[in-house]
């Protein structure tokens, strides 16, 4: 069986537990193929947790879920050094961060100390407990969810942490037909069992296949122009965005876009990147990295519209 056949089988297994939400599923697969963390934003009940569970089952990966709350401590996530009275020695008790897929549920409800505890592991793939440093297992992926509805006890994620997410996916409601099917299956408890179809070795092969996807130099330069236009809109005849964008996207956005477009092309069964791949991932990569001015936020200017203006202005090679 070819790698593409295995990927098709993986999608089929995930669809047993998740109806619709193709963009969310594709984004999680891109994250797995590129080791990129993903932020999922949507109201409760849109199958965010169900999707992550389905992916972990189909890939036979370790999966852990942390419910973020205002009273959560960093040690609740990464672990702590504890004293063992039986042996009269200190020992390390590892936290739930030591897994393959970590679902950080309602991440914006945790205080700053907990947010910062995630920074090291998201970037360095390692955790420091007391004086000891431990590498996390590979693959390692943080899939965080946040509720867009303002609630008491919610915090804004720091820009430094937001930048460590490859994608910010806005999860929307299912169609009426999909919702009917979900309600029917949930009522009858008739969802099929998800079988393991890939393993870690298969995933590593898929990652290597994605790295080998060809991208033309002109398209690489096009990506760099898109990112640069978010920082210097005047240079691209985007004067209307000068007073709207406060800070543009970081260099990490360029790196993530180079990776994501290759994975997107692979998922579309192409062996080369096209401008369509760039258009498909651009908003997911940029919407949490471009910071608008206070005036723009006061006018409730949509960040996706700002990104669309940049994409429309820069000529496709």
Of the listed ranges 10-14, 146-150, 250-254, the least confidently predicted one is 146-150
Q: Which residue range is the domain that position 284 belongs to?
A: 213-313
Residues 129 and 226 in one domain: no
Q: Considering 135, 168, 202, which residue would you say is the last residue of a domain?
A: 202
Residues 36 and 154 in one domain: yes
Share above pLDDT 70 across residues of the chain, in percent, rounded to a whole number: 97
Residues 179 and 223 in one domain: no
Query: In CATH, what number is assigned to the domain containing residue 247?
Result: 1.10.8.80
Domain count, the chain: 2
Element (H, E) at 268: none
Residues 91 and 218 in one domain: no
Annotate 124-155 with b (16+ C-beta within 10 A) or e (fewer). Answer: eeebebeeeeeebeebbbbbbbbbeeeeeebb
Residues 268 and 306 in one domain: yes
Average pLDDT over residues 18-31: 87
Residues 236 and 294 in one domain: yes
Rounded-to-integer distance, Cα 253 and Cα 226, Å: 10
Q: Decide if 208 is inside a domain.
A: no
Report yes or no: 214 and 274 within 8 Å, Cβ to Cβ.
Answer: no
The reported pLDDT for the residue numbered 149 is 65
Q: Decide if 191 is inside a domain.
A: no
Query: In CATH, what number is assigned to the domain containing residue 59?
Result: 3.40.50.300
Residues 106 and 29 in one domain: yes
Check pLDDT > 60 for residue 292.
yes
Report yes or no: 200 and 139 within 8 Å, Cβ to Cβ.
Answer: yes
Q: Decide if 160 is inside a domain.
A: yes
Whether this model's pTM surpasses 0.85: yes
Angle (deg, nearest 10), helices 22-34 and 251-267: 110
Per-residue pLDDT reduced to its tens digit, 238-288: 999 989 999 999 999 999 999 999 999 999 999 999 999 999 999 999 999
Residues 93 and 160 in one domain: yes
Residues 97 and 242 in one domain: no
Using alpha carbons, list the distances in angstroms from residue 291 to 18, 143, 151, 241.
Answer: 33, 22, 22, 12
Of the listed ranges 143-157, 160-174, 179-193, 222-236, the least confidently predicted one is 143-157
Q: Decide if 29 is inside a domain.
A: yes
Q: Considering 202, 234, 266, which residue would you say is the last residue of a domain?
A: 202
Q: Decide if 207 is inside a domain.
A: no
Residues 182 and 217 in one domain: no
Residues 90 and 129 in one domain: yes
């Amino acid at each position: 069986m070819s790698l593409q056949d295995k990927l098709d089988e993986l999608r089929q297994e995930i669809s047993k537990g998740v109806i619709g939400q193709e963009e969310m599923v594709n984004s999680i697969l891109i994250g797995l193929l590129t080791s990129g963390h993903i932020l999922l934003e949507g109201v409760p009940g849109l199958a965010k947790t169900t999707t992550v569970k389905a992916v972990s089952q189909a890939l036979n990966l370790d999966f852990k879920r942390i419910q973020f709350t205002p009273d959560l401590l960093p040690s609740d996530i990464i672990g702590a050094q504890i004293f063992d009275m039986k042996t009269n020695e200190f020992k390390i008790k590892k936290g739930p961060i030591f897994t393959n897929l970590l679902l950080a549920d309602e991440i914006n409800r945790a205080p700053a100390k907990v947010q910062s505890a995630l920074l090291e592991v998201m970037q360095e793939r390692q955790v420091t407990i007391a004086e000891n440093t431990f590498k996390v297992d590979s693959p390692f992926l943080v899939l965080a969810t946040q509720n867009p509805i303002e609630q008491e006890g919610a915090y804004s994620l720091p820009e430094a942490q937001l930048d460590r997410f490859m994608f910010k996916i806005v999860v929307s409601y299912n169609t009426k037909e999909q919702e009917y099917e979900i309600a029917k299956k949930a009522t009858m408890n008739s969802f099929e069992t998800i079988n393991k179809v890939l393993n870690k070795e298969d995933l590593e092969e898929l990652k290597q296949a994605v790295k080998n996807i060809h991208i033309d130099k002109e398209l690489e330069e096009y990506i760099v122009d898109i990112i640069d236009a978010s920082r210097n809109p005047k240079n691209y005849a985007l004067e209307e965005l000068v007073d709207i964008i406060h800070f543009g996207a970081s260099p990490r956005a360029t790196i993530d876009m180079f990776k994501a477009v290759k994975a997107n092309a692979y998922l579309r069964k192409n062996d080369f990147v096209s401008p369509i791949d760039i258009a498909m991932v651009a908003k997911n990569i940029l919407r949490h990295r471009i910071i608008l001015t206070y005036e723009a936020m006061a006018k409730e200017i949509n960040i996706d519209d700002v990104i669309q203006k940049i994409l429309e202005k820069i000529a496709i090679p």
